[in-house]
Chain A
Amino acid sequence: MRIILIFYFLLTLIMSDLFSQNSFYRLNGFVYDFASGEALVGATIFLPQLSKGVITDSYGRYSLVFSEGSPKQLQISYVGYQQIDTVLTLPKDQNIDFRLHVKNLPEVEIKSRSGNLQHNTLQIPVERLKAIPMLFGQPDLIKALSFLPGVSTGIEGTTGLYVRGGTPDQNLILLDGATVYNASHLFGFQSVFDPNAIKDIKLIKGGFPARYGGRLSSIIDITMKEGNNQLKHGEFTLGIINSGLLLEGPIKKSSSSYMVSARAAYLGLLLLPSALGWKKKDDAPFNTMISYDLNFKLNHLFKNKNKIFASAYFGHDKYLTRFRSDSSYYRTDLGWGNETASLRYIHSIGNAVHAQSIATYNAYKSIEYNDRSYISGSQAGSFLRKSSIQDISFKQLISSQAKRNLKLSSGIELLWQMFQPSSISLESSDFNLDSLSRQNEIFKPFSFALFGEGEWDLFTWLNINIGLRRSNYQVSTTTKGFWEPRLNINIRNGQFSYNAAYAFTSQFVHLLSNNSLGLFSDLWVPSTSQVAPQYAQQYSGGIIYRSPSLTWEFSLEGYYKNLFNQIDYRQGIDFFDINNYNWQNTIEQNGIGKAKGIELMAKRETDRSNIWFAYTLSDNKRKFTNINRGEWYPFRYDKRHNFNISLVRKLENKWTFGLNFVYQTGTWITLKSAWYQGEGSSAGGLIRIVPQPGGYSHLTDVIKGRNNQRLPDYHRLDLSFTRNFISKKRQFPSQLSLSLYNAYARKNPYVIYTGLGTIYKDMKIVEYRSSISSKALFVFIPAISYTKKW
C-alpha cells in the first residue's frame, strides 16, 4: 500500500515537471454564468480553424494546448447562453475565464434546450429534465433519466434505474463525489436529489473512462449547485406533497459562496383518511410518512484559481404505523436515510498539471422497529432490526495536456467501508431467541484502485481514449483484485460521429433485493470469502448525426454486456423471515447474465420547442445453477420495447406546455401456467396422500419457469402547463405548474394478486375459480405547485 502511494506521488511530480518543460502554449480556465458566477459544466470551447473543441469538466474547467502562438479564433458556447467569439494570441501560457450571458429570452429559458447527444453518455441540462411532467408534479432528475434510451425503471413511479440490463445497485450514484447507496424516498416514489439544489447530472452507461469504477452498469455523477457568488437569491416551492426552500449567495463576492436547500415531502396528507379513522375508531390503523432532504455547499476561489468545495447532504424517511386491537397496541417505525459529506480541492501543479483531491464520507442506515404492548400497559415484545453501511474515501486525480493531442490522467482511490447488513435485537415475554445475535456480523473491507488513461487525438478525425484500472479489495483475510482495461474510440466525419468502446468493470458490493422500491428491507452486503465480487464486460458502438443547423440530432447505439458472479435470493426465501439470520446462506451465487440492445434517439430543438424520441430494443437474461433448473430465464425487468416521447413547447409568451409519453413492454412475472388436482408440491402432503372417493380436492399449481409470463404492456401520458410570472421590474419572478400524471387513466398493473375460489352445490364442489388481478396504484394524478423566487 505504501509503495503504491509513494509510486503515485512520484508519478505526479514527474508528470508536472516533465510536461511543464514542453514548448507548447496552454490556455486554461473556467467558464462561468455571468449573473450568478456558477461554473458551467459541459460548456464548449471550439476552435473553428482546427475543427476541434473541448468541453468543461464538472468544475467548469477547460484546458487547451497549441503548438504555436499565432492568433486563434475561439467560440465559447453553452446551451441557452450567448456565444462568445474571440481571437486570442498566446505568446505564453495563459489562464482565462469566460463569463457567458443568458440569452435575452427569459420566457423561453434554457429549459427548452437539451444539450448535444454524446456517445454512451446522457447529459441533459437540469432545467430540461425538470420540465418533464412527473408524479405528484414534483420534478425528479433520476426518474427523468429513465426517459432516455438504454435506461428504464422497474415498478411504476419508482426511482431504481436499470441501465443497459443492469440492476439499480450496479449504478454508482455520486453526489459531489460521495456515494449515495439508496437514492429513494417514499418507498421509491421520489429520488433523494432535490432538483433545486442540483447543477448538473451526467449518466455514463458504457465506454467508462478508467477514472470511474466500482459499479458494473453506470455512473450517475451529480453535482450540487455552488451558489450564486454575485447576488443573494432565494426560491420557495409549495407543492401537493413537497415544499422546498433554496438560499444562495456570496460570502465574499466573486470568490466564495454558499448554497443551502431544504425539502420536505409529507405523504401523510395522502394518508390523512387513515389518520382521521384512527381517531374515530380504535381498530383502524394509522399510517403516516415523511421525508426530508438538506443540502449544503460552500466554495471558495483562491487568487491562484485553485478552488475548494465543501458539501453535505442529509436525507431521511420515516414511516409510522399504529394499530390497536382489543387487547394489544401495535407500533411499527421504519426509517432509512443517507448522509454524505465531501471536501474537494482542485488545484494546478504548474501550468501543465491539474489535480483534484476529494475526501468523502457517506452512510446509509435503515431501522425497523416493531413493538407490541398490552392495553393494560405491560410490554409483550419488541423487535429491532438495523442495517447500515458507512464509507470513508479519499481520491486523488491528476491530469495533464501532455501534448497538443494527448491528455494523460491518473489517480488513486482509497476506500474504507463498514457493513452491518442486519443487526437484530428482540425482546419477548413469550420466548427468547438468543440465536438471532448471530446476525450482528460486521464486515470492514478495504479497497483501493489505481488507474491511468490517455486521451489521444491521433488525427483530427480520430480520438482514442485508452485506460487501465486496477481494483483491489480486502475483507478479513480474503483479497481479490481485477485488471480492468477500458477503450473508447471516436471517429468524426462531417456531421457524423462514430464510436466503439469496451469496458471491463468490477463491483465489490451487492444489493439483496427483489424489487426496485428502495425499501428498508434491501440489504447492501459486501463481497466476502463466501460471496465473490461481481464483474462485467461491455461492448458498445454507435453513430450520431447532427444536422448542419443543429436542429435535428440522431443517435443509434448498440451494446452487448456479460455479467458474472451475480447473486439472487434462493427460491422460496421469505424476505421478512427473521430466521434467515445469515444472509450468506440465503442467496444463490455465481449467476451470469447477458444483456444486449439497440438504442435510438432523435432530438429536435428550436427556440420555441424541444422534443425527443427515445426507443430501446433490448434482451436481458440471467442464469443460476439452482434457479429455473439451471436454464436461462428472462430478467424480471427485461422490457423488449421501451419508447418515450418528451416535448417541451412554449405556447404563449408566459406559458410552457410539457408532454411525456411512455410505452414499455410488460415486465416478467412468475405465475402458474397450469393446475391440476392432486398433492404434487409438498413433501409432507405427498407422504400423507390417501385416496379419496369421488375425486381429490387439493389443487396443485404448475409453475414451469422463472419469469414465465409477461404482464400487460405499460403506457401512460403525462401533461404539464407552466405559467411564468414576471413583474415589470423583473423582481420576484414566480412560476405556477399544473400537471397531469397518467392523463388518460391507464390502469397499469402495480401489484398482482392471484386468487382461488371454490363453488359448492349440495355440499359438493362444482367449480374452481382461479383469477389473477392487478391493482393500479396511480390511475390519474393531477398536481399543482407554485414557486416564488427572489
Chain B
Amino acid sequence: MTNCYNYLRNILCICILFITLFRCDSNVIGKLKSDYEGDKITLTGFLTTDTILLIIGKSTEAFGNVSPDEFKAKNPQVFIESEDGHFRHTFFSSDGIHFSAGKIGLLAEKSYKLTVTAADLPTVETAFIEIPENITIENLKTIAIPGSGRITNEISFSIQDKSNPNYYFFDVGIQKGTSQNTAPFWVPEDGIADNCYSVFAFQDLCFNGKVINLTYRLSPDGYFKGFNGLQVADSIIIRFGGVSKEVYLSQLAVPIDDGFIEGINEPPLTYSNVKNGYGVVFAHSLQDYVVTTVK
C-alpha cells in the first residue's frame, strides 16, 4: 500500500510538471515513405505555328534542400516529329531552355510529338499534341456598366464553334502607358465562370458546333509600374484563342493552395502529358486584342 502511495505521489509530481509545460508541439516529420520513382526529365512549354518554347529540367525528390542547379538536366536534346511523319527536327539546348520564333514549319490542325533525352535520365516523350486553328472573334465591343461608383467594363464577343471537340482560353490584362497588369479585379457574370465556361480554359461541351456569345466584366484598375496608387487602365488586353486539351486538363488539376492544412482541402493530382517524366507541353493559337477602356 505504501508503495502504491509513493508511486501515485510521483505520478502527481510529474503531472504538475507537465501541466506547466503543456503545449501544442511542432515536430518536423522529415522523409516519409513516398511513391517517388527517381529523378526524371521535366518538360514544359508550348507549340504554335510559328513558335516553340520548351523548358527542360530535372525533378528531384520532394521535401529537402535543393540548389537551383539540381533542377537542371545535363545536355538535353529534343526530337520533334509530326504524326504524319512529314516533319522531323532535333534541337540541342545547353541551358535547358529552347526558344524558336519565326516560321519553322509547324501547321495548324496537325499533331506533333516531342521526345527528350538527357544525360543520366530516362528518355521521355509527349503524346501527340494538336495545334488548334486560328479562331476568329466577331462583334467585339466594350461598354461601361454603371453602378457601384467603381468603373466596370463589360467585354463581349462571339465565336463560331466547330463540331469537333475544341478547347478555348480566355484571359484579360490591363495596360496603362507601357505598363501591363495581368490580374485585374474581375466579377463573374453570365456565362463566364459557371459550369460551361470559365476564366482561362474551357471546353465546348455546352455549345458544340454553335455560335456562342461570351461576356466578361471587370474593373479595369490596378497598380502599374511608374504610377503611384490605384490607376484606371487606358486599355484592356484580351487574350483569346484555341488551345490543345492539355491546357484544359491542367486547369482541372490546379491546387487551391501550395501549403495546406491537412483535412481541409484535398489537393488534386498534378497533370502531365509527359510519359516517364513530368510537365505539360501544349499548343495554342492565341491572339491578343486591345480595346480602349470605357470610362
Binding site for B on A (CB under 8 A): 155, 431, 514-515, 517, 569, 571-576, 585, 628-629, 651-652, 655, 669-684, 686-689, 691-692, 695-696, 700-706, 708-712, 719, 721, 738, 740, 745, 747, 749, 751-756, 765-777, 779-782
Partner of A701, one of B201, B270, B279: B270
Q: Which residues of B contact A688 (CB under 8 A)?
A: 182
A771→B30 CA distance, assembly (Å): 7
A569–B266 touching, CB < 8 Å = yes
A752→B263 CA distance, assembly (Å): 9
Q: Which residues of A contact B270 (CB under 8 A)?
A: 672, 680-681, 700-704
Q: 10 extra interchain contacts, Cβ-Cβ under 8 A, other than A677-B68, A686-B46, A738-B8?
A: A431-B148, A571-B268, A629-B269, A675-B59, A675-B66, A676-B42, A684-B171, A689-B55, A703-B268, A772-B30
- Would A709 and B254 be within 8 Å (CB), given that A679-B44, A738-B11, A780-B22 are in contact? no
Q: Which residues of A contact B268 (CB under 8 A)?
A: 571-572, 703
26 contacts between A and B (CB under 8 A): A514-B263, A515-B263, A572-B266, A572-B267, A672-B62, A672-B270, A674-B278, A676-B42, A676-B57, A678-B44, A680-B278, A681-B250, A681-B270, A681-B280, A700-B270, A702-B59, A703-B269, A706-B269, A721-B11, A749-B29, A752-B29, A753-B259, A754-B258, A755-B259, A770-B65, A773-B27
A683–B62 touching, CB < 8 Å = no
Partner of A675, one of B60, B269, B286: B60
Q: Which residues of B contact A710 (CB under 8 A)?
A: 32-33
- Would A655 and B25 be within 8 Å (CB), given that A569-B266, A772-B63 are in contact? no
Q: Which residues of B contact A572 (CB under 8 A)?
A: 252-256, 265-268
Partner of B35, one of A678, A709, A749, A768: A709
Q: Which residues of B contact A678 (CB under 8 A)?
A: 42, 44, 55, 57, 279
A708–B171 touching, CB < 8 Å = no
- Would A770 and B63 be within 8 Å (CB), given that A679-B44, A691-B97 are in contact? yes
CB-nearest residue of chain A relative to B39? Answer: A674
Task: Flag whether B53 is at the interface (Cβ < 8 A).
Answer: yes
Q: Which residues of A contact B4 (CB under 8 A)?
A: 651-652, 655
Task: Flag whether B64 is at the interface (Cβ < 8 A).
Answer: yes
- Would A585 and B63 be within 8 Å (CB), given that A683-B169, A703-B269, A749-B27 are in contact? no
Q: Which of A651, A652, A692, A768 has the most CB of B within 10 A?
A: A768
B24–A686 touching, CB < 8 Å = no
Closest CB in chain B relative to A767 CB, distance in Å? 5
Q: Which residues of A contact B14 (CB under 8 A)?
A: 782
B25–A779 touching, CB < 8 Å = yes
A671→B258 CA distance, assembly (Å): 10
B200–A683 touching, CB < 8 Å = yes
Q: Which residues of B contact A628 (CB under 8 A)?
A: 269
Closest CB in chain A relative to B165 CB, distance in Å? 17
Task: Flag whether B128 is at the interface (Cβ < 8 A).
Answer: no
B266–A670 touching, CB < 8 Å = yes
A683→B33 CA distance, assembly (Å): 31
A681→B279 CA distance, assembly (Å): 8
Q: Which residues of A contact B279 (CB under 8 A)?
A: 676, 678, 680, 700
Number of interface residues of B (CB under 8 A): 86
A675→B63 CA distance, assembly (Å): 9
B261–A770 touching, CB < 8 Å = no
> Sorted from nearest, which 10 A-B pairs have the closest CB atoms?
A683-B251, A782-B15, A571-B268, A678-B44, A752-B262, A676-B42, A676-B59, A677-B71, A674-B59, A672-B62
Q: Which of B171, B256, B266 has the most CB of A within 10 A?
A: B266
A776→B22 CA distance, assembly (Å): 11
A774–B26 touching, CB < 8 Å = yes
B27–A775 touching, CB < 8 Å = yes
CB-nearest residue of chain B relative to A712? Answer: B29
A779→B14 CA distance, assembly (Å): 14
B27–A774 touching, CB < 8 Å = yes
B32–A671 touching, CB < 8 Å = yes
Partner of B262, one of A686, A751, A770: A751
Q: Which residues of B contact A740 (CB under 8 A)?
A: 11, 15
A752→B29 CA distance, assembly (Å): 9
Q: Which residues of B contact A712 (CB under 8 A)?
A: 29, 32
A692→B284 CA distance, assembly (Å): 20
Closest CB in chain A relative to B47 CB, distance in Å? 12
Q: Which residues of A contact B267 (CB under 8 A)?
A: 572, 670, 703
A772–B32 touching, CB < 8 Å = yes
B62–A675 touching, CB < 8 Å = yes
As a 0/1 sequence over residues 228 to 263 of chain B, the CB contacts with chain A under 8 angstroms (1 = contact) are 000000000001000100011011111110111111
CB-nearest residue of chain A relative to B200? Answer: A683
Q: Which residues of A contact B61 (CB under 8 A)?
A: 673-674
A775→B28 CA distance, assembly (Å): 8
Closest CB in chain A relative to B58 CB, distance in Å? 7
Q: Which residues of B contact A721 (CB under 8 A)?
A: 8, 11
